[in-house]
Amino acid sequence: MGTAKPKRTWVEIDPNALRANLCHASELADGAEVMAVVKADAYGHGFAETIKALDSEVSAFGVATLNEALAVMSVAEKTPNIMILGALLPDEREEAVSAGLHVTISSLLEAKKYNEIGQRTGSQIQAHLVLDTGMGRLGFTDKNFIPECAEISSSSNIAIEGIATHFPCSDLDLDFTKNQIEKFSKIIQESKLNARWIHLSNSAGVINFGNAGGNMIRPGLMLYGICPTNHSSHKLRPAMEWKTRITQVRELPSGSGISYGQTFITKKNTSVATVAVGYGDGYPRSVSGNDAEVIIKEKRCSILGRVTMDMIMVDVSDLDPLPCPGDEVTLLGGQMTELITATELASKAGTIPWEILTGISPRVERIIST
């Protein structure tokens, strides 16, 4: 019986952290039902690993595309409701309906097309009507919502399961978001529509506004233990650690250039570890030259020169004893007292933590931590 091949780079997912973050979100939302947003491979954490941790703990899963929805459906055993948050292409709609997925509707024309599919296939469309209160991406305008949705509600093959809106800046502009909530509430009351779920709050919305008057929330980033607002939330626990291994350790003399472009030249004799990760794995090339660090033997070590496709070089001169090939390196997460968060790495890369997490490539293995 063969032994497992050694991993070069991998992420470890903590299911207990996922469940704890979910519980915290639910508490902030006064017990509202939860649609766990698991699009983009569960924000880079892995569909299968995340869904197995949250299955039966949530009322629904939210994804962005038809293929994502079908992938979630193949894994989820206890959560029957899977919603495609994005608009489907015309040639995707019938497959989504046949699979029993929840879909968004943003216009009367879209509703008519879905109703035709329902009539032709003998299906009830599980629809969520989207009201655009300021996102400018999908949804009915406030002027069209009431008259058009009145017509939709009389459609024979459309069941209005939900009514939703989305917050574009609930992390930054609280007054704008309050106005969105008030506008949404007023229009829904005037429409006199009944729906199983009313959902507004994304992660920042949950932290700043709870359920925002709805009976369901749609947390994404906070499920994975990262606070999307400027104030910290000590109850959120990062659910991922991203690790890799050292492939080589060398002593380079003063004046040695490191990596492409010779952007870093050693000023003294330097112990350099070559590490088995690069932008081909999703580690951002844009951290090059921006004081990014990794953790080796519980100490922070600086990345030298440019990130390459498959490797980075790290200064390990201050480690005693020096590390060896095969030793672990932490890219995200912590070893004892040191911790590198996705927010920190995103800052060094000039981006946002969402992009860091969803950019971790498929060749990085996802495993459940024990």
CATH number of domain containing 264 = 2.40.37.10
Q: What is the CATH number of the domain that holds 193?
A: 3.20.20.10
**CA angle, corner 82, sides to 125 and 75, nearest 5?**
135
Same domain, 260 and 333: yes
Please say which residue of 224, 255, 270 terminates a domain.
Answer: 224
Q: Say if residue 186 is in the same domain as residue 273.
A: no
| DSSP H helices in the chain | 15-28, 39-43, 47-54, 66-75, 93-98, 108-121, 142-153, 174-191, 203-209, 342-349, 353-358
| Structural domain contains residue 153 | yes
Q: Is 13 among the domain residues?
A: no
By C-alpha distance, which of 121, 364, 113, 88 is closest to 244?
A: 364
Same domain (yes/no): 52, 162: yes
- Domain hosting 72: range is 32-224
Poorest-pLDDT segment among 24-38, 51-65, 232-246: 232-246
List the Cα angle 299/366/86 in 5-degree steps.
115
* 234, pLDDT greater than 70: no
Q: Are residues 220 and 246 in the same domain?
A: no
Q: Is residue 234 part of a domain?
A: no
Domain contains 230: no
- Tell me: pLDDT of 363 over 60: yes
Residues 311, 317, 322, 328, CA torsion sign: negative
pLDDT tens digits for 168-204? 999 999 999 999 999 999 999 999 999 999 999 999 9
Asked if residue 250 and residue 166 are part of one domain, the reply reads no
Query: 214 is written with which tokens?
Result: 């709805």
- Answer whether residue 12 is part of any domain: no
Chain segment 150-166, per-residue pLDDT in tens: 999 999 999 999 999 99
Residue 261 covered by a domain: yes
Query: Which among 185, 183, 220 has a CA at the least distance from the CA of 64?
Result: 220
How far, in Å, CA of 105 to CA of 87, rounded?
Answer: 7
Which residues form the catalytic set? 39, 260
The domain boundary, picked from 163, 189, 224, lies at: 224
Q: Could you tell me if 264 and 213 lie in one domain?
A: no
Residue in the structure block whose two tokens are 């930054």 = 172
Kindly state whether residue 6 falls inside one of the protein's structural domains: no
Examine the domain organization and report whether 220 and 248 are in the same domain: no
How far is it, in rounded angstroms, from Cα 11 to Cα 31?
31
pLDDT band at 233 (very low <50, low <70, confident <90, very high): low
Longest dimension (CA), the chain: 78
Task: Give me the pLDDT at residue 1, please.
Answer: 43
In angstroms, the CA 16 to CA 321 distance is 34
Total tally of structural domains belonging to the chain: 2
Residues 58 and 174 in one domain: yes
In this structure, the answer to whether residues 162 and 259 fall within a common structural domain is: no
Q: What angle do CA 13, 17, 22 make, to 5 degrees?
A: 120
Q: Is 285 exposed, middle or buried (0-12, 13-18, 19+ CB in 10 A)?
A: middle
Alpha-carbon span 139 to 143, nearest angstrom:
11
Instruction: State the pLDDT at residue 329.
Output: 97
Confidence of residue 229 (pLDDT cuts 50, 70, 90): confident
Whether 210 and 256 map to the same domain: the answer is: no
Q: What does the block give as tokens for 149?
A: 């949705």
User: Is residue 4 predicted with pLDDT exceeding 70?
Assistant: no
Burial of 122 (0-12, 13-18, 19+ CB in 10 A): exposed
Residues 266 and 203 grouped into a single domain? no
- The fraction of the chain above a pLDDT of 90, given in percent, is 93
Cβ atoms of 353 and 346 closer than 8 Å: yes
177 with 109, same domain?
Answer: yes
Helix (H) or strand (E) holding 10: strand 9-13
Residue 10 included in any domain: no
* Last residue of one domain, picked from the residues 178, 198, 224: 224
Task: Please enumerate, as own/partner, the contacts of 253-260 that have beta carbons within 8 Å and a separation of 24 or more.
Answer: 257/305, 258/304, 258/305, 258/313, 259/288, 259/304, 259/305, 259/306, 259/307, 259/308, 259/313, 260/305, 260/306, 260/308
